[in-house]
Structure 1
Amino acid sequence: MPVAVKNKLLEWVDKNHQNYFDLVTFFLNGEVSIQEKERKASYFLKKEIQSLTYNSIDFPPDISKIQDWILENNKFQCAEYQAYLEKRNRGAGREYFKNVGQAFEFLIKVAPVKRVDGSWLFSIVHYWNDSVFRDLIQIYLEELGLGLATSNHVCLFDDLILNLGLEHFVLDLEDEYYHQPAIQLALAYAPPEFIPEIIGFNLAYEQLPLHLLITNYELQELGIDSKYFNLHITIDNIDNGHAHLSIKAFEKIYSKFNDKKSFIEKIKIGFTLNDKGLSSRQIIKNLNLDALVIKILKRKALIGNVIHNDKCKFNNKTINSWLASPDSVEEFVEVLIDKKWIKLGCDPEESRFWKLINQEEGKMFGVFTATEKQIIYDWIAGESAQDADLNARRIQLDHKDKNNYMFSFLSDGELEDIQHQIYETGNLAMKINKLLPYLAPHAHHRETGLWCTQRFVDFLFPFLSHQKFTS
């Protein structure tokens, strides 16, 4: 990227720092230097912190009690989950996702934050030669799957989205879904003065939330691969997982700081940054298949507004006229409901619209993808659908195994080049410094990044390297 273009991008992002999507794009741009990202990260984080209210945060005043405090919270979440399971065993329905379509909507809306999973710890990796940071670096490497695509958190979520056919929905999300990802990426490139905030953020993020346990359970129940969510339950555990490592890191680094009071205040700030943006709980609470279906139909209207004949009219308007403007699509759907072409709350087979898009002889057969049809089906069926019919009413999706083709034959030589540099370099520090850029949030889940992560693990965490091949 030319220098003039980079400078213009920096200036533009600074002036529009409330556009979170642009911030995420900026931080994930491999052409922008770490120095430029660090400058932007510092500016953005200071803006975010100014609007925080963290004095009332539920944080133990006695730091020696931090582990007990987290353990108690963990026990409380587990007890709540057991209460949930007991309700389900007594016949209660799912609390989060009434159908597959709602689960799809949830996965679409959490995609921006899941695709930067663990990124807030990237800046800590640069302190690899200081043992006090080893616990945090280990957490980051495990978020990266120790360099294995089958365990790398971003690879896992991307694979899930790809297999479910949801990737193009993510491109149509509102800016608010990029707020928390922007914060995590800013922490990824934050200068050393933000180390306490990063530790505080990590301390909060690695706790076991009730919503994760229920999400994992209900996705499995709906037949959706929940490996990504289950992995966070197992490796984040308080006994020997990331929650445990987070506490160890906190205690070690706290002991090194002279200004203990300032350190704790900054820890609280980092802890509170977790609450910025839309949380999974808020997304689940506000699931709205109506809006998602309208989005799907508006997208189809862009290509379907000139291909229908003029014989069929609704309220004296042809279908082409109704579809001429995306803004009229919602009203058109209301008309279809009013005319009984769509019978909400009934078996979709009773709706003429569903037959048109689902039956092979239907005039709109093939217009909607299997994923779009699943969402429309569940929208029409609503509460009428019973779990006993779940298999019958699930649309069959074509499974795409990303791991079968993630290594491109059209290589630009990047991997071969870094391999040559590592093998030709005898100095460990030089090897590490060559690997580090490929562990960045935009790169670690790609072919070269995965290889570099494996070498980083081999050099600095040999016990994890062994674990990599036995897990």
Structure 2
Amino acid sequence: MTLFTALSGQPASLTQPGQCQRVYQQLHGETAGAEEVARAFIRTQLAQLRDVPGELPEAPEQLPAWVEQRCAEVAQAYADYLEQRQQGQSRRYFQNKAHALYFLQRVAPTKHVDGAWLNGLLRYWQDPRFDGLLTTYLEELGDGEAAQNHVLIYRKLLSEHDADSDAGLEDSHYLQGALQLALGLCAEEFLPEIIGYNLGYEQLPLHLLITAYELSELGIDPYYFTLHVTIDNASSGHACKAAQSVLNLLPLGEGRADFYRRVADGYRLNDLGLGTTAVISRFKLQDEVVAMLERKRTFGQHMHSDYCRFEGQTVNQWLAQPGQIGAFLQALEDKGWIKRNQDPADSRFWQLIEGAGAAMFGVFSGYEKQLLHDWIAGEWVSSQRVPPVRPGRGSRFSREQHRPADPDTQALVDSLWNLSDEQQLQALIPWLSARRHCTPAGLYATRRFIQLRARLR
């Protein structure tokens, strides 16, 4: 059975293991038949919404006021949150830094295709009714500047904490990213749904504000999130443009009601899959430590000496069979190698992991070490407070002119040489796709696209 056949069946077909991840990889990889798969995937997702109540106002003309009201409610809720924190309440979302990194990893498939649902609208660059949507998309791409490209900012964030692995991700973590890619490939057939999805995605949510605040407290640069706080504002940002775009593209004739109904369907697509708070709430530190060590077990089961025995078994024996990690950790505790609820530096197990001279130096990634650190530390609180991190401004990104020559960029420049401005613009559009826009050639293509579009308008 082909992937398309599976997606064309009943909605229950999405229960197949790895279905969303396979769609995500096929669409992001721009493989043959991607558009056909995308159409089937969108239809399948829309079928899930039949019993989901709508949130949009009855009349589209009420959208601007509706957006402003929602923004005011979020602002008040955030003010209440800040007051609660000032009164001594603990963080609402993240128990510790490992929890925050867990969240950043689990939402990465969606963040790595930020804005992809608007990609197919580039073909309408001459139509002023699409200006707000195209401006939104190009700003997601950082207008061709690496320091402002949202995908590159997020990749940099994960890389800084050595948390850019996809180990531990579930199929549900790929659903929204796959949906965004699918919408971006089917602009002509699903235009109302794309406009509605954009309306929902570009609203300023409370969780974005709280996430940025708590990431900063944990020593994690919140710039990716604070950037979205500013550009998604209801006054002049993406939220405002999203509402105005609905009105700009709403038919004047008898198709008006059906168009707006489909906009509402697209808006509700945002509710599918795991939302931010659902991802956060699924974190269980003990379970994540065990799952992480279980994933690494097969790599380490023959790598240890037989000098040390715990409960009568060598380390290799403990790692030989699945399902023994929890008991092995308890054996390490019982023998004093792990001292829970104390400074991890006091645990012999941690001393084997951390530091250039550690016996297991390099075995664990930054995220994996953070999991172990926070699990051992437990209720112990470091006396050295982590200073809040102020949002960056992309200054750590090197400018493109300081990088080695990129062969794709040079080939693209050469291919445009004898083309007219309009022909160049059309040739650049494929380089603004979700897969390519964050490459050096894609960044160049974005800047050139903006330049040519301004000249030809």
Q: TM-score, normalised by structure 1?
A: 0.87
Name the structure 1 match of 2:435: 442
Q: How does 1:409-428 map to 2 (within 5 A)?
A: 409=404, 411=406, 413-426=407-420, 428=421
Structure 1 residue 225 and structure 2 residue 226: aligned?
A: no
> 5+ residue gaps in structure 1?
1-6, 395-399, 464-471
- Equivalence map 1:100-111=2 (5 Å): 100-111=97-108
Distance 1:329 1:14, change over 3 A: farther
**Which of these residues, 179, 192, 214, is aligned with residue 196 of structure 1?**
192
Instruction: Output the CA distance in 2 between the equivalents of 1:403 and 1:184.
Output: 29
Change beyond 3 A, Cα 1:370–1:273: closer
Residues 229-244 of structure 1: pairs in structure 2 closer than 5 A: 229-244=225-240
2:302 equivalent to 1:309: no
**What residue number does 1:469 align with?**
none
Match of 2:392 in 1: none
The residue aligned with 1:457 is 450
CA distance in 2, matches of 1:52, 1:317: 53
Give the CA deviation at 1:325.
Answer: 2.6
Q: Which residue of 1 aligns with 2:373?
A: 377
Pair 1:245-2:238 in alignment: no
Equivalent residue for 1:75, pick from 72, 75, 85: 72
2:57–2:66 CA contact under 8 A, matched in 1: yes
- Counterparts of 1:41-440 in structure 2, within 5 Å, are 41-53=38-50, 56-168=53-165, 170-256=166-252, 258-358=254-354, 363-385=359-381, 388-391=383-386, 403=398, 409=404, 411=406, 413-426=407-420, 428-440=421-433
The alpha carbon displacement at 1:224 in A equals: 1.0
State the SS of the aligned residue for 1:454: helix
CA distance in 2, matches of 1:130, 1:85: 43
Counterparts of 2:148 and 2:156, CA distance in 1 = 11
Contact 1:24/1:182 (CA < 8 Å) preserved in 2? Answer: yes
Deviations 1:252-286 (A, max 9, x none): 11144641221121111101100111111111122
| Distance in 1 between residues matched to 2:318 and 2:397, nearest whole Å | 39
TM-superposition CA deviations, 1:7-46 (whole Å, max 9, x none): 977668778765111111101114x25xx32221111111
Where 2:146 maps in the other structure, the secondary structure is coil
Tell me how far apart the structure 2 counterparts of residues 457 and 111 of structure 1 sit (CA, whole Å). Answer: 27
CA change 1:74–1:442 in 2 (3 A) is same
Equivalent AA in structure 1 for residue 437 of structure 2: H
Once the two structures are superposed, what CA deviation does each residue of 1:55-82 show, in whole Å capped at 9, x if it has no partner?
A: 6212211222111111111111110100
Indicate how the Cα distance of structure 1 residues 265 and 352 shifts in structure 2: closer, same or farther if over 3 A, else same. same
Asked whether the 8 Å contact 2:121–2:187 carries over to 1, the reply is no
Amino acid at match of 2:439: R
Local SS of the residue matching 2:303: coil
CA distance, structure 2, for counterparts of residue 45 and residue 137 of structure 1: 22
Cα contact 1:38–1:191 (8 A) shared by 2: no
Report the more deviating stretch, 318-327 or 53-62.
Answer: 53-62
Write the distance in 2 (CA, Å) between the matches of 1:325 and 1:456: 56
TM-score normalised by the chain length of structure 2: 0.89
CA contact 1:100–1:374 (8 Å) conserved in 2: yes
Aligned counterpart, 1:22: 22
Deviates more, 1:63-72 or 1:295-304: 295-304
2:400, 2:440 within 8 Å by CA — same for their partners in 1?
Answer: no
* Aligned equivalents of 1:228, 1:190: Cα separation in 2: 28
After TM superposition, the structure 1 = structure 2 runs for residues 6-21 of structure 1, keeping only pairs within 5 Å, are: 18=16, 19-21=19-21
Q: CA RMSD in A?
A: 2.8
Count of matched residue positions in the alignment of Structure 1 and Structure 2 = 445
Whole-Å Cα distance in 1 between the matches of residues 317 and 258 of structure 2? 64
The Cα shift of 1:131 comes to: 1.8
Aligned sequence identity (%): 36
For structure 1, which segment, 371-380 or 180-189, has the greater mean C-alpha deviation from structure 2 after superposition? Answer: 371-380
SS in 1 for 2:435: coil
- Counterparts in 2 of 1:290 and 1:171: CA distance versus 1, 3 Å: same
Displacement of 1:142 after TM fit?
0.5
Residue 309 of structure 1 deviates from its aligned partner by 2.6
Contact 2:78 2:206 in 1 (8 A): yes
CA shift, 1:451, in A, is: 0.4
- CA distance in structure 2 between the aligned counterparts of 1:320 and 1:55, rounded to whole angstroms: 51
Contact 1:163–1:401 (8 Å) recurs in 2: no
- The corresponding residue for 1:39 is 36
How much has 1:178 moved relative to structure 2?
A: 0.4
Note closer, same or farther for the CA distance 1:54–1:75 as it changes in structure 2 (3 Å cut): farther
Secondary structure of residue in 1 paired with 2:117: helix
Secondary structure at 2:413 match in 1: helix
Structure 2: unaligned runs, 5 residues or longer: 390-394
49-58 or 444-453, which moves further after superposition?
Answer: 49-58
